[in-house]
Structure 1
């Protein structure tokens, strides 16, 4: 390891030196960074948990011990005594495996036992921004479960057999996994971690996770993982006061504690940067994860996420160094920011002063859109701008449109429940919402359960309500979203020019009283037109303005009968006369048409 790079925040592979390093002769070299500890011993299965003293190496800030004949799978901890004489048993910050909670020991694992078979996928990953990106966000413990019994989860291997075919059927080409780094509390959803290099043991071993990702790739499904570089769990057996002092966190709790009660990383410290950068590279390199979605980036940009407190320059520099370093090592890795602020340059290259992300969640689009669909139809004319405003700023960053887990918890109601009106009214509006989402520029993300019309808010302890598919309206919604997703994947107009102005234009965005919107998406090969009526009235005789075509051919309608609407499927070309096509638009409807005869 480059010790100078470690101290200055330039190291990206600290995990190959620190932690439990299995040697060719069957021994394990245990190393940890604990500059302020008075003494440290290794305790584990291999010494009956009695402790074997470590010794200082290099500059005295690192500790090391070689233990012969340690089996892979052995449990261990570091017994750390502080300068004040207090002794606490800690899990390994760089440990590659963990015991299943509530137990807290680290587990010895190697990095080289699993042989990936995803070479074809890895070779074609770098096709750039002009490709479809349709993400299915998943919490592995509550997508499906074996039973309602506590902890009765499917393993990573079992999920590969169940989840991958479902994702392919539904028309998603990426899965986003909510955090898989080890965490003690189920209710944190994985966002308060203790093992940043350790896949959670809830669903199996690290190599079983590798198998899951390998199988995704062999089935042409990419994998993005949520990564949490902002904060960590306060449990005293992990990073908190690791060597008896605040080693990873701020000494001042005024800035050191987050709004969630967790400890904020002190990103101005080089050792902390090297720890987090190494963790990010670890998932991308050692597990073949295709990208990382960075959680709560606004809490890095600003002190405690509050622009009024000012910018956290140390954390901003950390993001720039990490993203730039990851791209230098793995140019095709996707780096996605969840940022709710208006900070400029999130997706700009670091060389030009930006943060270096590939995409930023468009939370403004999400908030405005969901607010609009919650509004009673008679009030929508006054809120017409909520669906046009996003295009006023859209090309300032590269955006991803998210309908994520955050929108279906904490009393916010599910996406379907957010739709205004009674049971009968909610479904056509939900179909129209998802159609509008696909029509709008930007990559896509949809949380599990949205596609079946969940009425119950997400609960990490229960599987999705799959029995809903026995009810016609839920089944029709599912089939509509499935077909809409496949339409997205198969039509380059919906993704090839996402980040270029020539890929989008409004055809009609001045129909406030009728709540009609019309837009065009285009690529090198095709043009698609979308028309929406978000009022509760049929809009007859609507003259859709189009140019340079003989007519429009319907290729998807939210109101076709097979999706629960009242319109019989008809894909006949609608002729254009004097650069207009006349349409009758049902209430709460969306229509996609292909331009014919240019």
Structure 2
């Protein structure tokens, strides 16, 4: 006999929105909600399983006996099963036992809206309530737009929580411990934002979180949901924005997860040409199904609303956009117009961006999109996808390839380091040196550099200096800030012991100072996405492997002249054209002694002379330190 009380919190309008793909707060109705109903404590459950013949709640409260608590299916053909079970309490483990009307299969499934899970490899959900957390970031939320907008400094530290730092016995740091250690570190290093690789519950550690199952639950590996809130809160109280990696592109086939949820292809597309990813052996969401669109956009809303997240970096966008992504001929079918675009996914991404930007003030969405798909950061109204930013993968590839070359050959590859400026303003680009570039035999960023040890560190400082003065926002993966030698290994801590050695300590000091320089120099960010913010002085001095350019902000008096010397040769008496009269002052130099450099500086005021050079009617004589970036202003 069922002990479930018939009760519903869904209105007809809720169902209408759900079916139309326009219900963006499903988490308020779906899932498991502790409450008092008719004077009785218990939990209201609601789950979508349209092809089920029965849905039973099993858990600690009924000794996992499916015969006791069967949910009631709604009368309106929505496929939602629901009901109130008395006396169930917060902290109780549970799952759904679903019998399929389609093929008679019986499976034990997670609640797709569960807020908390057992620690893997255990898979049950845990009844939880997150409404009791008292946020202390009111100030941040009130001025977030001023910190998070596209004309503000954006320097992102990308972190994998499980391997940033570990306890001495190899166990994970908790969210609570990270709220002290990681927040203090990111603040000391002067980054403006932190980006977490996926924190949503995932079963398999080697997936780094990108094969996730519990879309509404931060991983219990590191603590409870409120502990993760506390971590975000701590960042906000220290004026640091929080970006979450979000994965609406695919999900794993684990039996307890979303795949074949009610015995049918409910969340994944039924056609394997659209519903199965050959590279990742994972399932692809069915963007043609409105209820799935409601689920995914609700998930984005959930993290933005309940966890005060400031930006979502959307993973693997290219795999969503193209029907032939990573597929050979015959493994995909063209769309109705004969093209290779996944029109449903394009429509979904437009709906997602329109919805989140319309409902949350001061947030950003960032696309990890590796192709030349047009208009990723163009507004939806103008035919674009509506993202705030897009990763500049071409810049990353060309730059790392250039820096891996011995400087003696760089004069033959000048175009590799200048080509990015031919398309730098076609999108709102973020320059990424991400986790993807330091795994699977690619070597760490430091190990990619050419030359002996001194030259490798000098090259790395130059690379970062060039990166931070190039148009666009910045992202640096953990370990890169102190020059980790080894590739990233998700199963252990970064090599913090390297900071006992001067070159690594100097690199850390350099990145700290570079962030300060970037944040305090409006010319480097106010027009980061506009051609008005950049001007070449010299891009064709291949013989010396030197480039020079001007970065411009709103106040032209604060323009910054940047010069990069990509050779280990000290260039003395190097004449450079400058845009106006005055005196030139060096404001930053990657060759400073405190950074591990050789200390070749341009000291004092440098006289600007009426001598033509580089198309300018005035010029100045500089010392260009080896393998270094130097920045100047005219007074």
Alignment match of 1:392 (pick from 401, 422, 426):
422
Write the mapping of 1:135-214 to structure 2, written as runs, cut at 5 A.
Answer: 135-149=156-170, 152-214=171-233
Q: How far 1:46 moved relative to its partner?
A: 1.5
Secondary structure of 2:41's counterpart equals coil
Contact 1:33/1:62, CA 8 A, preserved across alignment:
yes
Match of 1:290 in 2: 310
Q: How far 1:215 moved relative to its partner?
A: 0.9
**Closer/same/farther in 2, CA of residues 569 and 511 from structure 1, 3 Å limit:** closer
Q: How far 1:254 moved relative to its partner?
A: 3.1
Match of 2:398 in 1: 368
Contact 1:507/1:546, CA 8 A, preserved across alignment:
yes
Q: How far 1:314 moved relative to its partner?
A: 0.4
- 2:249 aligned with 1:230: yes
Contact 2:155/2:192, CA 8 A, preserved across alignment:
yes
Deviations 1:428-482 (A, max 9, x none): 0000000000110101110000011011111111110000011111111111111
Q: How far 1:178 moved relative to its partner?
A: 0.5
Deviations 1:28-49 (A, max 9, x none): 1111100001211001121121
Counterpart-to-counterpart distance in 2, 1:161 and 1:531: 38
Counterpart-to-counterpart distance in 2, 1:3 and 1:187: 38
Counterpart-to-counterpart distance in 2, 1:490 and 1:474: 24
Alignment match of 2:514 (pick from 453, 460, 484):
484
Counterpart-to-counterpart distance in 2, 1:571 and 1:114: 53
Secondary structure of 2:165's counterpart equals coil
Counterpart-to-counterpart distance in 2, 1:469 and 1:403: 21
Alignment match of 1:19 (pick from 28, 31, 35):
31
Match of 2:92 in 1: 74
- 2:47 aligned with 1:29: no
Match of 2:5 in 1: none
Structure 2 unaligned regions, length at least 5: 1-9, 333-339, 611-617
Write the mapping of 1:400-439 to structure 2, written as runs, cut at 5 A.
Answer: 400-439=430-469
Match of 1:10 in 2: 22
Alignment match of 2:632 (pick from 572, 593, 597):
593
Alignment match of 1:103 (pick from 104, 108, 122):
122
Deviations 1:115-143 (A, max 9, x none): 11111100111233111111000011111
Q: How far 1:69 moved relative to its partner?
A: 2.1
Match of 2:322 in 1: 302
Write the mapping of 1:331-342 to structure 2, written as runs, cut at 5 A.
Answer: 331-342=361-372
Counterpart-to-counterpart distance in 2, 1:195 and 1:26: 26
Match of 1:59 in 2: 76
TM value normalised by structure 1? 0.97
Contact 1:79/1:89, CA 8 A, preserved across alignment:
yes
- 2:346 aligned with 1:346: no
- 2:300 aligned with 1:280: yes
Write the mapping of 1:427-576 to structure 2, written as runs, cut at 5 A.
Answer: 427-525=457-555, 526-567=558-599, 571-576=603-608
TM value normalised by structure 2? 0.92
Counterpart-to-counterpart distance in 1, 2:83 and 2:573: 81
Q: How far 1:420 moved relative to its partner?
A: 1.2
Counterpart-to-counterpart distance in 2, 1:265 and 1:148: 39
Counterpart-to-counterpart distance in 2, 1:15 and 1:459: 35
Counterpart-to-counterpart distance in 2, 1:306 and 1:57: 41
**Closer/same/farther in 2, CA of residues 160 and 200 from structure 1, 3 Å limit:** same
